[in-house]
Structure 1
Amino acid sequence: MRRLTDLVLAHKRLVVALWLAVAVAGGALAPTTVDRLTYDFDLPGQPAFEANERIAATFGGGGLDAPLLLVVEGADAEGGAVDLARRAVEAVPGTRVVTARDDGADVLTADDGRLSTVVVYPPVTPGPEPYAQALPRLEQVAAQARQQGVDVEVTGFDLLLEGGGGGDRGVLVEVVLGGLGALVVLALVFGSLLAGVPLLVAAVSILGTFLALLLLTTVTDVVFVVQYLVALIGLGVAIDYSLLVVTRWREERDVGGVENDEAVRRAMATAGESVLFSGVTVAVSLAALVVTPLPFLRSIGLGGLLIPLLSVATALTLVPVVLSSLGPRLSWPRRRPVAARSRLWTRVADAVLRRRWTTIAVTTLVLLALAAPVLGLALGSPQLSGLASSAPESRAATAAVAAGVPPGVLRPSEVLVPADRADAAVRALREVDGVAAAVAPTGPWRAGGEQLVQVWTDDDPASAAGKATLERVRDAVGADGVDGEVGGTPAEDADFVTAVYGSAPWIVLAVVVVTFLLLARALRSLWLPVKALLLNVVSIAAAYGVTVLVWQEGYGSDLLFGQDATGVVTVWVPIAAFSFLFGLSMDYEVFILTRMREAYDGHGDTDDAVRDGIGYTGRLVSSAALILFLAFVALSTVPSVEVKILATTLALGIVIDAVVVRGLLAPALVAVLGRANWTLPRWLGVLVRRLPEPARHAGGRHASHPPR
């Protein structure tokens, strides 16, 4: 680190010029990067995905894209629905429709004939909104019908999922919201212009990551959600790393009394090393997604691991240049020395040390209680009840289901069968328990010798009963001579769980092993890495558990978000949250434990090492966690329910980890383990290529204290 710092300080102008060029290029090309991101969530090799691909290729839509619905209410609702179906086909050529007058589709009319629904499959537009071109025309048809006295509304599952549209909020808005929250926290921490340094570093690292992302898109597809993760996770970790270095630099100047450049070198030799190991650990956890069998998750992993790597690069090169050149002047208006050791967090450490066993018992019980609901975790797309809102499309969908239209109409299963076996397939599917209707319309629903059958379930496809019905439908297809393939969003959700979480244990094991080796090398210890990994598991499980309580069970979802329980947790949220929470939690652990290790090497007393570690890093970790928490709160304001669930998991995970786990349980466990914390078996030292260093605390400031 000292050699790197000397090299950087010897070429300040070159370093600034390089990062300026990266930032300008990243900013200028950011729109191009966003345009090159894809919206494909492929599940290659999975039956439902392959069926949906064939359905979309043969019929121009459907499969993974749920239909739009025209909900008509009034005295002659069914007649109005049939007329609207005709207008919809005329307005959007190539549209496939089903009305209550199609054979077997009478369930689309309910409430004694006063409500009727048209199932509409317009041609699909590539991109984030499959019906981007068709939807405005259908809404125009509905508006014209309303002018003629017909009470009609356009709705559909995807519209409900995105809060009625408008869920694709620009990434710049998220960065600004997160940055404003970060600025407030940093201003309170520094009370000077130094608050701008972490934000400067974050801006450069985010723009640099977007530039690297553009290069990545030239060799592989990258899914669009990466842009939000780069912006918000990048904002958090870049501020974390630069905050650690700046805080240590200020400590060396104010407490150590050394001249400015030497303070920079000392900060880099200590905090800089922590940043390096922390960044590599975060990158490893994000790289876990690269080994998943799904292309879009691999792209999230590849894009995600760029975030900590670019953040580390800026923190280790740009920060020392800024501090060397402008550091003392940036201390305005707070010129007086600042206490490097937090009195509040030192008191917390003292309280934990006095009641170490009590702290372990209470915090463990709290974490296990928070984690317990995860045992009932259900994965899938949100249930319709959790998507209810005051929007017109939500009211229309709710009214249709309440009137008696089967919930499965909004998310049908679609069965692709040979045309000459369509009648037999329909008869067999109608006999399946839980199926409200199976419909095989003619015309554009038959092509290339194949027939597309709509299967509507009595229960919400995301409910336990709906999932059971799907399994019976799949069993029926292929039995009794009914040959075909089952597609639709419910089937693809089920296959997603199988594809991702079937391999999840191996992914987690790979992350744990590599992270353990990295921490063992960084901390020169066997038990500190073991403890850190166990605490990460408990911390993430607690975040999952609270997410289940809030979203799946509905405790607080209405209070916090004005929405009912979704009944499930979105299928991709746990694996994505694991990767980010594991890495971010390890950030804090590395910051704290490396400071404890440094203190113990200086004086050889475990309890004092705990006081030093928490006293010097508690304020840093809590500030960094608060910044990330605010960033995720900003993300939770996006209308998309799925994004809200992810943001909830990340925000809760950060708070639980920073306050309960790292602030209380971790120091209590270090205190209890005593000297075992600081031992590194020779076999492990050889494995990680770092043998134990000779004790340096014989003449330390607490050398008179017997080692504990």
Structure 2
Amino acid sequence: GEIAAFEEVLDRSSANGLRAEATGSVFSAERVDSAAAESVGFGIAMIVMIIAFASLVAASLPIVTALFGVGISVSLLTGATALFEMDSSSILLASMIGIAVSIDYSLFIVSRYRHEMNATDDLGHAAGRAVGTAGSSVVFAGMTVVIALVGLRVVDNPLMSMLGYTAALSVVVAVVTALTLLPALLGLLGRRAFALRVPGLRRGDEPDSADSHGARWVRRIAARPVLALVATTAALGVFALPAADLELGMDVATADQKPAIELLGRGFGDGVVGRLVVAVDGSGTSRPESVYRDLAAAIGNLPGVATVAPPQLNADRTGALIVVVPDSGPGTTRTRDLVSDIRGLERSFLDRDGIGFGVAGQTAMMSDLAVALYGALIPYLALVVGLAFLVLMLVFRSLPVPLIATLGFLLSIAATFGATVAVFQKGWFGLVADPEPVISFVPIYLIAILFGLAMDYQVFLVTRMREEYAHGPETDAAAREAVVVGFRHGARVVTSAAFVMVSVFAAFVLLPDTIARTMGFALAIGMVFDAFLIRMIIVPALMTLLGRHAWYLPNWIDRILPDVDIEGRQLEKCDRSAELPQDAVAVRAG
């Protein structure tokens, strides 16, 4: 209400011939309405799933599940604000992630249900097998995302921890709704789940002998795996080049505040919106006023300072505040260096005059956050990659497959960082009117999300390859054919899911919120790199080159690893054992 009243005053001033703009922390804290972006994301997702399933009913099931799940998670998070302090961007990003993974997971289960429904007349059994196979993969995929998000706690920053916890909650809700509400809807609809067919579209459940775009694609890669591998790696390497110039900042002003910041910069300098406050403790000196002036003069002589205000003393003159205006914006490296230089003066003043001081204010806090996150980036990446390797080795019972998956993830992350730096920091292609350093928590949050999604697609694609290889002879020829057959099974649903992810994330670029725009772009381009280049080209190319060696695992590791049976082999044994008594009765009757 107060913001609306203030904006009304600005409008009246503008109508009288003045140009009046506003900025400040109150406007930064104002919640951004993401409904428009979510609607666009849902609309594009619906179109993609209509193409994937050729059925209006089937295409709507993941949307219904996602709406239900996101509604629950946003309600829980909104209610939690009564107990915990929560930034508005936490709920926004949790909503973005919740929509994407909920649609993703539901899409995999519905696709598997269609496959199982064509193999049996018992629709309850088909739904059970869909949840027992694709549902198991959903649990694993959701678990990896949750671990990566909760792992943000290692950064030891309240903002990052809250971002991780809120997004992890939305992922947990997405998994639970996919495993409960969706099977209930499938059971309620039965074969009507694929009703309202759309003429002219492929159903996607054609027999294995039928040709498909996925089969033709993987055969082209299998024919020239080295060329596909080298060309794709080189392309990703080119995208990754700008990542070497990555700078982290914390300019979270929305697009609506940019005009005011521009006016302030033009009239008073870029640093006026990023003032630094130096708090001085002068209780240990006998001549505080003189020392305060000396300190202000020393700060004024530092590079990067525009102006230094006279010290403001407290009542008993044992403390003072010195306001410093940098000559650069609050999110720049130059301002961050100035904060460090001011702190570097403390030792000499403490030794000589017995005074201590610290640099406070939002700009200094954001600068410290950027430095902390930059330092945590490589350790966190190492933690995530190590986790990915161990979990994938457990799932696939192989050493080369986890290595391929994690190296591919590193390559896609580097390319994503490069593209984000090029667009948002360097201003290439003119997509951003005011290039700034990348928001400090975007890279580490990006690693958390893309890690989970990359492993998600790796599991859904390669488990089908593993399943085909396990049912045939352990030869190079059989292993290469398993790559083709497994890819044909999984490619359609993986590409559909990736298109959904890209559309949901890209829709958030439409918002004025800087965090949402940057995260939306980075996640969308990251999904393009990982799903379409790494999983669709590099993974089948390397699997083809390795042949049966792709499934190598030392015996001593094989003995100690538990069998998670993500492919549902135990379900097949249960099915066969359930059929045996009927067969025996038929034999005796004959």
Q: Does 1:313 align with 2:159?
A: no
Corresponding residue for residue 553 of structure 1: 426
Q: Does 1:664 align with 2:544?
A: no
Which deviates more from structure 2 when the two are superposed, residues 203-212 or residues 653-662? 203-212
Which residue identity lines up with residue 253 of structure 1 in the other structure?
M
State how 1:78-157 maps to structure 2 within 5 Å.
133=2, 140=9, 151=18, 153-156=20-23
The 1:222/1:641 distance shift into structure 2, 3 A limit, reads: closer
Corresponding residue for residue 292 of structure 2: 422
Which residue identity lines up with residue 576 of structure 1 in the other structure?
Y
Displacement of 1:152 = 6.2
Indicate if the aligned counterparts of 1:383 and 1:462 stay in contact, CA closer than 8 A. no
Corresponding residue for residue 520 of structure 2: 647
Cα separation, 2, equivalents of 1:507 and 1:589 = 21
Question: Which secondary structure state, in structure 1, belongs to the residue aligned with residue 247 of structure 2?
Answer: coil
Q: Any unmatched runs of 5+ in structure 2?
A: 283-287, 570-590
Indicate if the aligned counterparts of 2:249 and 2:333 stay in contact, CA closer than 8 A. no
Which residue identity lines up with residue 20 of structure 2 in the other structure?
E
- The equivalent position to 1:272 in structure 2, one of 118, 121, 135, is 135
State how 1:43-54 maps to structure 2 within 5 Å.
none
Displacement of 1:246 = 1.2
Displacement of 1:221 = 4.6
Superimposed CA distance per residue, residues 251-273 of structure 1 (whole angstroms, 9 cap, x where no aligned partner): 2333x354423322332333222
- The equivalent position to 2:203 in structure 1, one of 311, 328, 338, is 338
Corresponding residue for residue 479 of structure 2: 606
The 1:606/1:394 distance shift into structure 2, 3 A limit, reads: same
State how 1:79-478 maps to structure 2 within 5 Å.
133=2, 140=9, 151=18, 153-156=20-23, 168-192=31-55, 193-210=57-74, 213=77, 221-254=85-118, 256=119, 258-334=121-197, 338-340=203-205, 343-382=212-251, 394-395=258-259, 397-402=261-266, 405-417=268-280, 418=282, 420=289, 421-440=291-310, 449-478=318-347
Which residue identity lines up with residue 247 of structure 1 in the other structure?
S
Q: TM-score, length-normalised on structure 1?
A: 0.70
Cα separation, 1, equivalents of 2:198 and 2:423 = 46
Displacement of 1:353 = 0.3
Displacement of 1:440 = 2.5
Displacement of 1:169 = 2.5
Indicate if the aligned counterparts of 2:276 and 2:364 stay in contact, CA closer than 8 A. yes
Displacement of 1:516 = 2.5
Aligned residues: 545
Cα separation, 2, equivalents of 1:447 and 1:663 = 70
Question: Which secondary structure state, in structure 2, belongs to the residue aligned with residue 454 of structure 1?
Answer: strand
Indicate if the aligned counterparts of 2:102 and 2:174 stay in contact, CA closer than 8 A. yes
Q: CA RMSD in A?
A: 3.3
Question: Which secondary structure state, in structure 1, belongs to the residue aligned with residue 302 of structure 2?
Answer: coil
Cα separation, 2, equivalents of 1:263 and 1:575 = 40
Q: Does 1:520 align with 2:389?
A: no
Cα separation, 1, equivalents of 2:533 and 2:154 = 31
Q: Does 1:635 align with 2:505?
A: no
Question: Which secondary structure state, in structure 1, belongs to the residue aligned with residue 226 of structure 2?
Answer: helix
Indicate if the aligned counterparts of 2:153 and 2:161 stay in contact, CA closer than 8 A. yes
Indicate if the aligned counterparts of 1:378 and 1:569 stay in contact, CA closer than 8 A. yes
Which deviates more from structure 2 when the two are superposed, residues 318-327 or residues 630-639? 318-327
Cα separation, 1, equivalents of 2:348 and 2:125 = 77
Cα separation, 2, equivalents of 1:461 and 1:499 = 16
Cα separation, 2, equivalents of 1:628 and 1:435 = 45
- The equivalent position to 1:487 in structure 2, one of 335, 360, 363, is 360
Which deviates more from structure 2 when the two are superposed, residues 534-543 or residues 263-272? 263-272
Question: Which secondary structure state, in structure 1, belongs to the residue aligned with residue 439 of structure 2?
Answer: coil
Corresponding residue for residue 571 of structure 1: 440
Which residue identity lines up with residue 546 of structure 1 in the other structure?
A
Which residue identity lines up with residue 313 of structure 1 in the other structure?
V
Q: Any unmatched runs of 5+ in structure 1?
A: 1-131, 697-708
Which residue identity lines up with residue 240 of structure 1 in the other structure?
D
Indicate if the aligned counterparts of 1:521 and 1:685 stay in contact, CA closer than 8 A. no
Question: Which secondary structure state, in structure 2, belongs to the residue aligned with residue 333 of structure 1?
Answer: coil
Question: Which secondary structure state, in structure 1, belongs to the residue aligned with residue 359 of structure 2?
Answer: strand
Which residue identity lines up with residue 353 of structure 1 in the other structure?
A
Superimposed CA distance per residue, residues 563-611 of structure 1 (whole angstroms, 9 cap, x where no aligned partner): 1322x11111111111111111111111101111112122342222221
Which residue identity lines up with residue 378 of structure 1 in the other structure?
E
Work out the percentage of aligned pairs sharing the same amino acid.
29
- The equivalent position to 1:685 in structure 2, one of 555, 558, 564, is 558
Indicate if the aligned counterparts of 2:52 and 2:203 stay in contact, CA closer than 8 A. no
Indicate if the aligned counterparts of 2:42 and 2:63 stay in contact, CA closer than 8 A. yes
Cα separation, 2, equivalents of 1:138 and 1:295 = 32
Cα separation, 1, equivalents of 2:4 and 2:321 = 23
Indicate if the aligned counterparts of 1:635 and 1:643 stay in contact, CA closer than 8 A. yes
Cα separation, 2, equivalents of 1:287 and 1:583 = 12
Cα separation, 2, equivalents of 1:531 and 1:512 = 11
Displacement of 1:690 = 2.9
Cα separation, 2, equivalents of 1:329 and 1:142 = 55
The 1:450/1:140 distance shift into structure 2, 3 A limit, reads: farther
Superimposed CA distance per residue, residues 425-453 of structure 1 (whole angstroms, 9 cap, x where no aligned partner): 2222222233121003759x879853322
Cα separation, 1, equivalents of 2:7 and 2:31 = 21
Cα separation, 2, equivalents of 1:135 and 1:437 = 34
More helix per residue: 1 or 2? 2
Cα separation, 2, equivalents of 1:177 and 1:145 = 33
Displacement of 1:526 = 2.0
Which residue identity lines up with residue 340 of structure 1 in the other structure?
D
Indicate if the aligned counterparts of 2:398 and 2:553 stay in contact, CA closer than 8 A. yes
Which residue identity lines up with residue 260 of structure 1 in the other structure?
L
Superimposed CA distance per residue, residues 449-504 of structure 1 (whole angstroms, 9 cap, x where no aligned partner): 53322212223343344433333222234534463211233322331133333334
Corresponding residue for residue 588 of structure 2: none
Cα separation, 2, equivalents of 1:343 and 1:222 = 48
Cα separation, 1, equivalents of 2:133 and 2:551 = 18
Indicate if the aligned counterparts of 2:104 and 2:501 stay in contact, CA closer than 8 A. no
Cα separation, 2, equivalents of 1:633 and 1:381 = 22
Superimposed CA distance per residue, residues 372-412 of structure 1 (whole angstroms, 9 cap, x where no aligned partner): 2111101113499xx8x7x7x64554355345x33211211
Superimposed CA distance per residue, residues 77-130 of structure 1 (whole angstroms, 9 cap, x where no aligned partner): xxxxxxxxxxxxxxxxxxxxxxxxxxxxxxxxxxxxxxxxxxxxxxxxxxxxxx
Corresponding residue for residue 383 of structure 2: 510
Corresponding residue for residue 625 of structure 1: 498
Displacement of 1:649 = 0.8
Cα separation, 2, equivalents of 1:507 and 1:682 = 31
The 1:518/1:211 distance shift into structure 2, 3 A limit, reads: farther
The 1:215/1:613 distance shift into structure 2, 3 A limit, reads: farther
Displacement of 1:133 = 4.8
Indicate if the aligned counterparts of 2:54 and 2:198 stay in contact, CA closer than 8 A. no
Question: Which secondary structure state, in structure 2, belongs to the residue aligned with residue 474 of structure 1?
Answer: helix
The 1:156/1:349 distance shift into structure 2, 3 A limit, reads: same
Cα separation, 1, equivalents of 2:348 and 2:414 = 41
Which residue identity lines up with residue 581 of structure 1 in the other structure?
L
